[in-house]
């Protein structure tokens, strides 16, 4: 099992289109359907665990750039 956490996100984008929003009052969760042609995310991560017998550990910063 591998567990991890991410924190300190910075998300930047332009040209957002919200298609729909639903809220589940019972579970206190919400879902937003958004069309984002370009997005940039950066933050920090921490991962610990095992895959089969191999230990996995890591931490650091990350950045992701996505587009259609």
| CB 16, CB 32: distance < 8 Å | no
The per-residue pLDDT for 24 is 82
* pLDDT above 70 as % of the chain: 76
Query: Model-level pTM?
Result: 0.50
Q: Does an H or E element contain 56, and which?
A: strand 54-67
The string of DSSP letters for 5-49 reads EEEEEEEEEES-EEEEEEEETTTTEEEEEEE-SEEEEEEEEEEEE
Q: pLDDT tens digits for 16-44? A: 777 888 888 888 888 888 787 877 888 88
Tell me the pLDDT of the chain averaged across its residues: 79
β-sheet bridge partners, residue 62: 43
The per-residue pLDDT for 55 is 92
């Amino acid at each position: 099992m591998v567990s991890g956490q991410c924190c300190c996100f910075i998300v930047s984008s332009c040209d957002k289109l919200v298609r729909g929003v639903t809220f589940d009052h019972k579970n206190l969760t919400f879902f937003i359907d958004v069309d984002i042609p370009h997005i940039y995310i950066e933050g920090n991560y921490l991962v610990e665990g095992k895959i089969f017998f191999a230990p996995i550990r890591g931490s650091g910063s990350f950045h992701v750039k996505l587009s259609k």
